[in-house]
Amino acid sequence: MINVTLITGDGIGPQIAEATRRCVDATNPGINWELAQAGVDIMEKAGTPLPKETIDSVRKNGVALKAPITTPVGTGFRSINVFLRQQLELYACLRPCKSYKGVRSRYSDIDLVVVRENTEDLYAGIEFEKGKDDTTELINWLNKHNERKIRDDSGISIKPISVAGTQKIVRFAFEYARKQKRKKVTSVHKANIMKFSDGLWLDVSREVAKEYPDIEFEDRIVDNMCMQLIQKPELYDVLVLPNLYGDILSDLCAGLVGGLGVAPGANIGDKGAIFEATHGSAPKYAGQNKVNPCALILSGVLLLQYLDKQEEAKMLEQAVADVIAEGKYVTYDMKPDRNDPTAVGTSEMADAIIEKIKG
């Protein structure tokens, strides 16, 4: 048996976590779920939104499926998600975006994977606030060493991109492509403008690509990439991007395939991985057995792939695709009319998926 931590989250989290656990188990993957809590519900009991037992369980097992968590306001916790990501050094964010028949969308044949670098770039958190002494000192130094001057009343965010960080993420993208039998990796950048950060990213991407002659490689400038994704998304396969562009293009690609209801995700590092839906905890639907469990169930597909349970992953994904395509046992958000009285609840949709798996 493989131990996997199941973080049940809050808001809609516990109900979609239960639905997902049942669907994954129906494929008989040999997973032993270790239940753990995080979020606002446990905060009242434990005094922290992320109890030590939960962190210990994730560290011990190295693999977790995590339901959404409300970001607690005013607790000193910037975000539990960011904390877990840093603790486990989860440097890769994986977001497959695939068209499923029956999901309303402008496009019908998309099968893209966005691989986003998770630790560097403008999201590294190195910020200088307007008017602070450090900021003034930095501006003075920069103005002394550059012809171009920065205005005194500027705020500054630093954009570090390293050789080591870029090698890791680009290799990750190629390894993923190879394992999942994908054909092409596209590295996205703005190297024509930011020569020393994005330029480095592009140079390193090209070097790493040479290690993978079996997979096609190309690069695109990020603005052109956005236009191409809208005009001819079928030309692309695996995209690898620095943190900020990755954040923006993940949402663009999720939009291409019909939005949050079917957008799974994973954060992966060398020491472990956390699988989670892209959407949040939708607190207004907490406890109502109403919302769509598919994004977390499809994150379960990614979990199975990660555990090298490829057959089980295919079985689960096919079952989800079949239930969505039939459009009968689906939640309200997947019906053409959101008030359709024939919409089923979260657990009933999971039942329909399990029925398909059992054949």
Tell me the catalytic residues.
Answer: 123, 190, 223, 247
Nearer Cβ to ligand NAD (41/276): 276
Nearer Cβ to ligand NAD (208/295): 295
Contacting residue, 276, 298, 313, 315, with ligand NAD by CB under 6 A: 276
Binding of residue 118 to ligand NAD (CB under 6 A)? no
Binding of residue 280 to ligand NAD (CB under 6 A)? yes
Binding of residue 14 to ligand NAD (CB under 6 A)? no
Query: In 171-261, which ranges are E strands?
Result: 184-189, 216-221, 238-241
Buried b (16+ CB within 10 A) or exposed e, 244-274: bbbbebbbbbbbbbbbbbbbbbbbbbeebbb
- Nearest approach, Cβ of 226 to ligand NAD (angstroms)? 22
Which CA distances in Å does 135 have to 124, 140, 157, 194? 17, 9, 10, 22
Region binding ligand NAD by CB under 6 A among candidate stretches 48-56, 195-203, 227-235, 277-285: 277-285
Give the residues across from 95 on adjacent strands: 114
Neighbours of 46 (CB within 10 A): 15
Region binding ligand NAD by CB under 6 A among candidate stretches 65-73, 142-150, 302-310, 319-327: 65-73
Contact between residue 30 and residue 43 where contact means Cβ atoms under 8 Å apart: no
Contacting residue, 36, 169, 249, 282, with ligand NAD by CB under 6 A: 282
The CA distance from 286 to 111, in Å, is 31
Contact between residue 216 and residue 184 where contact means Cβ atoms under 8 Å apart: yes
Please give the radius of gyration of the chain, using alpha carbons only, rounded to the nearest integer: 21
The DSSP code sequence of 329-349 is: S--GGGSSSTT-TT---HHHH
- Nearest approach, Cβ of 260 to ligand NAD (angstroms)? 5
Binding of residue 350 to ligand NAD (CB under 6 A)? no
Binding of residue 69 to ligand NAD (CB under 6 A)? yes
Binding of residue 334 to ligand NAD (CB under 6 A)? no
Pair of tokens at residue 149: 């001057």
- With tokens 């169930």, the residue in question is 297
Contacting residue, 292, 304, 312, 321, with ligand NAD by CB under 6 A: 292
Contacting residue, 96, 165, 261, 272, with ligand NAD by CB under 6 A: 261
Residue nearest to ligand NAD (CB): 280
Nearer Cβ to ligand NAD (219/333): 333
Contacts to ligand NAD by CB under 6 A: 68-71, 81, 260-261, 276, 279-282, 285, 291-292, 295, 333
